[in-house]
Amino acid sequence: MKHSGEECPASTIEGKTFAFTSGTPKLLGTPRSWVRCGESGMELSDAIPNLHRVADRLCLIRSMHTDQFNHAPAELLVYTGSPRAGRPSLGSWVTYGLGSENANLPGFVTLISSGVQPNGGTASFGSGFLPSVYQGVQCRSKGDPVLYVSDPAGMSRQMRRTSLDALRDLNQLQAEALGDPETLTRIAQYELAFRMQASVPEVMDISKESPETLEAYGAQPGQTSLANNCLLARRLVEEGVRFVHLFDWGWDFHGTGPQEDIRDGLTTKAATFDKPAAALIEDLEQRGLLDETLILCTGEFGRTPFREGRTAGGGILGRDHYPDCYSIWMAGGGVKGGHVHGSSDELGFQVAEGGVHIHDLQATMLHLLGFDHTRLTYRFQGRDFRLTDVHGEVVREVLA
């Protein structure tokens, strides 16, 4: 806070392009206090008090950096390894490599809260050029768990089975005649959808959880929220779903209106995440699932250590997009708990040590899941593609 309100040093912004800021912005210190937590003494903000309890389970990386500073390309780079649409998402690569443990549920499930799709669209959880059986299936905690999977009005379960048998026979004939692998994928998806009609409503019904569990997460049956989705993630993992991806909108605090004032808005938003995230870690640990479940919490980029230029003259505060230095955390799944990797410079402009690029993070995640990221490939249009493109090194310092 000692430099808050001062003009940014020219050396920190010279030659850089920002999403919205121009001129010489003023430094913006955090209004939050920081607390040393757990036996590790990890420093965490007072805005996330519940995560203080599980600090010794967290692996905090403070030296992330990326290549993109606008939402859609930055999200696609995180989720697919490329800033352009068309590549398979991380969940698709994982299910392509590992398969599924439950024949009645998708191997890759996507849950979205706050009512807004990712900026990268469905490509953020799509299968790209992998067979579409590996794409993420979006499930919902309110209404029908999966759109269009219910039987139409007037169609009985037996009638559905008979119609699917006829479709299967026709598709099998087409597959034999044309040899298109997507036809076999279509058969598999129809059959999975039929099985899902019975299995998905059961696993998505959080009203069967105890009152104590619902309170721990802050979940409310019949509603849609990040808390509900964190609880659903535990239920899905428990049932053998390989990859569960939670998207949550509402962290974009530019300070262009009172509701986007970062001083109060970010703190309020953090509270919607803090409680269920801590509950998820504790719940998985109590059930003996944490060591075999890798949890990652990340955004697509960081935020500037200065006040956004276009709001500098007003009474509200926001921060611009920033790709050069930010933090993420992981838990469980073979990472080193209570560990802090890397650091930034004094003002948070640059990585000081232990830099981790997005492709390094992806390589590390795949390593933790049992893959060599250079060998998990798929040949498409004459080339072997991989999630980490041609870059990426495993960050071995974060491994338990």
**Considering the domain boundaries, does residue 145 fall inside one?**
yes
**Residues 338, 327 within the same domain:** yes
Residues 6+ apart with CB under 8 A from 71: 119, 120, 252, 300, 321
**Residues 276, 211 within the same domain:** no
One-letter amino acid of 222? G
**Considering the domain boundaries, does residue 226 fall inside one?**
yes
User: Of 65, 128, 145, which is closest to residue 91 (Cα–Cα)?
Assistant: 128
**Residues 393, 274 within the same domain:** yes
**Residues 260, 396 within the same domain:** yes
**Domain C-terminal end among 190, 214, 249:** 249
Q: Which residue has the higher pLDDT, 234 or 147?
A: 234
Contact of 400 with 336, CB cutoff 8 Å: yes
CB environment 60-97: b (16+ within 10 A), e (fewer): bbbbbbbebbebbbbbbbbbbbbbebebbbbbbbbbbb
Q: Cα separations (Å) of 10 from 13, 41, 309, 313, 367?
A: 6, 35, 14, 20, 40
- For the cut 90, the answer to whether the pLDDT of residue 163 exceeds it is no
Number of domains within the chain: 2
**Residues 184, 222 within the same domain:** yes
**Domain C-terminal end among 249, 276, 304:** 249
pLDDT, residue 352, reads 98
**Residues 203, 314 within the same domain:** no
pLDDT, residue 145, reads 67
For the segment 318-370, what is each residue's pLDDT rounded down to a tens digit? 999 999 999 999 999 999 999 999 999 999 999 999 999 999 999 999 999 99
Q: Which of 50-64, 104-118, 373-387 has the lowest mean pLDDT?
A: 104-118
**Residues 330, 285 within the same domain:** yes
**Residues 182, 243 within the same domain:** yes
**Considering the domain boundaries, does residue 81 fall inside one?**
no
Segments forming the whole domain that contains residue 324: 1-66+251-400
pLDDT, residue 245, reads 97
pLDDT, residue 1, reads 64
Contact of 78 with 87, CB cutoff 8 Å: no
**Domain C-terminal end among 249, 283, 305:** 249
C-alpha span between 100 and 285 (Å, rounded):
22
C-alpha span between 295 and 291 (Å, rounded):
10
**Residues 261, 123 within the same domain:** no
**Considering the domain boundaries, does residue 86 fall inside one?**
no
Binned at pLDDT 50, 70 and 90, residue 186 comes out as confident
**Considering the domain boundaries, does residue 79 fall inside one?**
no
Q: Cα separations (Å) of 66 from 12, 78, 282?
A: 17, 9, 31
pLDDT, residue 396, reads 98
**Considering the domain boundaries, does residue 88 fall inside one?**
no
**Residues 206, 283 within the same domain:** no
- For the cut 80, the answer to whether the pLDDT of residue 198 exceeds it is no
DSSP bridge partners of 379: 384
For the segment 120-154, what is each residue's pLDDT rounded down to a tens digit? 999 999 999 998 889 999 887 676 666 666 667 77
Across 171-175, 195-199, 386-390, the highest mean pLDDT is recorded for 386-390
**Considering the domain boundaries, does residue 3 fall inside one?**
yes
**Residues 370, 292 within the same domain:** yes
**Residues 149, 127 within the same domain:** yes
For the segment 249-297, what is each residue's pLDDT rounded down to a tens digit? 999 999 888 778 888 899 999 999 999 999 999 999 999 999 999 999 9
For the segment 309-330, what is each residue's pLDDT rounded down to a tens digit? 787 667 788 999 999 999 999 9
**Considering the domain boundaries, does residue 288 fall inside one?**
yes
Average pLDDT rounded to a whole number, residues 183-191 = 78
% of the chain exceeding 70 in pLDDT: 96
Contact of 293 with 67, CB cutoff 8 Å: no
